[in-house]
Amino acid sequence: MVTDMRTQLARTATDLVERDPNVAVVLAEISVDRFGRAIEVAPDRVINVGIMEQTLIGVAAGFAMEGFHAIAHTMAPFLVERPFEQVKLDFGYQGLGGTLASVGAPYDYGTEGGTHHSPGDVGVVLTVPNTDVLVPGCAAELDRLLRATYADGRLTYLRAGVAQSDVAFDVARGRLEVVRRGARATVLAVGPLLSRTLAACEGLDVSVLYTASVAPFDAAGLAAAVGEDPLVIAVEPFYEGTVLPALAGALRHVPARFASVGVPRRFITSYGTAEEHDRELGMDVAGIRRRLVGALELG
Binding site for other proteins (CB under 8 A): 24, 26, 42, 44-45, 47, 49-50, 52, 54-55, 57-68, 70, 85-86, 89-90, 93-95
Which of left, alpha, beta for 67 (phi over 0: left; psi -120 to 50: alpha)?
left
Q: Which is nearer to other proteins, 26 or 281 (CB)?
A: 26
Asked if residues 49 and 56 have their Cβ atoms less than 8 Å apart, the reply is yes
Closest CB to other proteins among 154 and 196? 154
Q: Smallest distance from the beta carbon of 22 to other proteins, in angstroms? A: 9
Nearer Cβ to other proteins (128/138): 128
Q: Which is nearer to other proteins, 22 or 195 (CB)?
A: 22
CB of 91 to other proteins, least distance (A): 11
| CA proximity to 11, closest of 146, 152, 166 | 146
Smallest distance, Å, CB 151 to other proteins?
15
Please report, for residues 21, 35, 175, 192, 271, the alpha-carbon distance to residue 163 in angstroms, rounded to integers and kept in the order given.
32, 22, 21, 6, 17
Is 251 within 8 Å of 211 (Cβ atoms)?
no
Q: How many CB atoms lie within 10 A of CB 91?
A: 26
CA dihedral sign of residues 234, 237, 11, 18: positive
| 199 Cβ neighbours under 8 A, 6+ residues apart | 285, 289
CA 49 from centre of chain: 24
Q: Smallest distance from the beta carbon of 16 to other proteins, in angstroms?
A: 15
Nearer to other proteins, 64 or 292 (CB): 64
What is the nearest approach in angstroms of other proteins to the Cβ of residue 115? 18
Comparing CB distances to other proteins, the nearer of 49 and 187 is: 49
- Determine how β-strand 155-160 pairs with β-strand 131-134: parallel
CB of 21 to other proteins, least distance (A): 8
CA distance 115 to 39: 29
CA-wise closest residue to 56 among 39, 78, 40: 78
Rounded to whole angstroms, the maximal C-alpha distance in the chain is 58
Nearer to other proteins, 21 or 264 (CB): 21
Q: Which is nearer to other proteins, 124 or 208 (CB)?
A: 124
Smallest separation, CB 105 to other proteins (Å): 23
Q: Distance (Å, rounded) from C-alpha 62 to C-alpha 100?
A: 14
Q: How far is the CB of 20 from other proteins (least distance, A)?
A: 12
